[in-house]
Chains A and B, each alone.
Chain A
Amino acid sequence: MQPPGGPPQKLALPNIHHVIAVASGKGGVGKSTVAANLALALAQISPPGKGEMGGVGLLDADIYGPSVPIMLGVREVVDQRTTPLPLERYGLKLMSMGFLVPPVQAVIWRGPMVHRALVQFLTDINWGQLDYLVIDLPPGTGDAQFTLTQTAPLSGAVIVTTPQDVALIDARKGLEMFRQVRVPVLGIVENMSYFQGEDGKRVHLFGHGGGQKLAAEAGVPFLGEIPIDPRVSECGDQGEPIVHKYPDSGVAKAYQALAATVIEQLGRTDKGPELPEVQL
């Protein structure tokens, strides 16, 4: 369960004010879309030069299936001799395994390699000063989650779900993982909550109220609903997330509200003290 090479050291990231993990129990709930758009919405509130540190980063921790490159319009593998990492797009600092490996090449790694890559992404990349580093976790409760909860100074986690029971069941597992490793959960965001037609009527395609119910059951805040809009996937495929391309759309406004709520929750959340050291 533990990578070899000594005990996991808690990483110090003194230039990053808040590290936020975006997680889901299940794949396919739009977690990477939420992470990218949340990061952009946070950057609109906290651009470089503003806030305590200034600036926002997005770290794609999905080593096996990185989505950040395509969503943020990075189509080529990065030549590190000519292009320093992290990359910058739309005011965000970005890092992803997809910048290093061609999209057609599979990364076939065991846990210790994933652990090492993520630690390098956190510590060897010159993130500069950031108010927020958003980490897009892969789905599930595996190696990447384990590494980051053990080593990264996480301020909290945002759990993404969709309204259906099949997604809620796995979101509960994600919540339970963070509870067990004592990382505060900032709240639950429900993606693909409803479609709003031109007449303003909301159609709840995948059911209604699941995210809210889960949040109440878990005793964590409900951070909001993100509506369905066909432009979300178009924007993702074209490499310009909807918060940047259509900042006045309903979806973008939902993300802006989500970013404000996340900041509010970060202010309220007590991470608790670091564990005391013992001298032997």
Chain B
Amino acid sequence: MSASGAEALTPVALSKEGADRLIIQWSDGHRSVYTWQHLRNHCPCAGCREERSKPPDPFRILKPSELIPLAPLRMPPVGRYAYKIVWSDGHDSGIYTLEHLRSLCQCPQCSVRAVNVSEP
């Protein structure tokens, strides 16, 4: 266990690509790609985690705010270890640690790895 964060992976730059993608360039040279929907689907806040753990409700009525396409409004850093995404529907309680963001990468290389890991 090392208590120093100096050797840990850090983002060098973050940018928006088109309307629906986030790009993160990491200190090890990796370029991560994410759709905003993917990030929202993996929101780490307690409410979203609980929601994901429930079986889908076939009778759920969508709220008007859920009919509007979701967009990120802001993505401020949290300390030196995470980012927070403020969404257009007002949701803002998810704190995405850098490790979590890296694990969510959707680039072709990471997606293949994720599929291989999930296969029995």
Contacts and interface: CB of A to CB of B under 8 A. Distances in A.
A7 to B, nearest CB: 5
Given A1-B45, A280-B73, A275 B80 contact: yes
B97 A275 contact: no
- Interface size, B (range): 35 or more
Given A2-B93, A7-B92, A276-B14, A271 B2 contact: no
Contacts of B72: 280
A280 B16 contact: yes
B15 A181 contact: no
A42 to B, nearest CB: 21
A176 B8 CA distance: 14
B10 A2 contact: no
B80 A218 contact: no
Contacts of A270: 6
B61 to A, nearest CB: 25
A58 B1 CA distance: 30
A181 B81 contact: yes
Contacts of B81: 149, 180-182
Contact of A272 (B78, B80, B84): B80
B84 A7 contact: yes
Nearest to A3: B93
Given A278-B15, A278-B16, A280-B73, A272 B10 contact: yes
Interface string B1-33: 111111010111111100000100000000000
A219 B1 contact: yes
B112 to A, nearest CB: 26
B117 interface: no
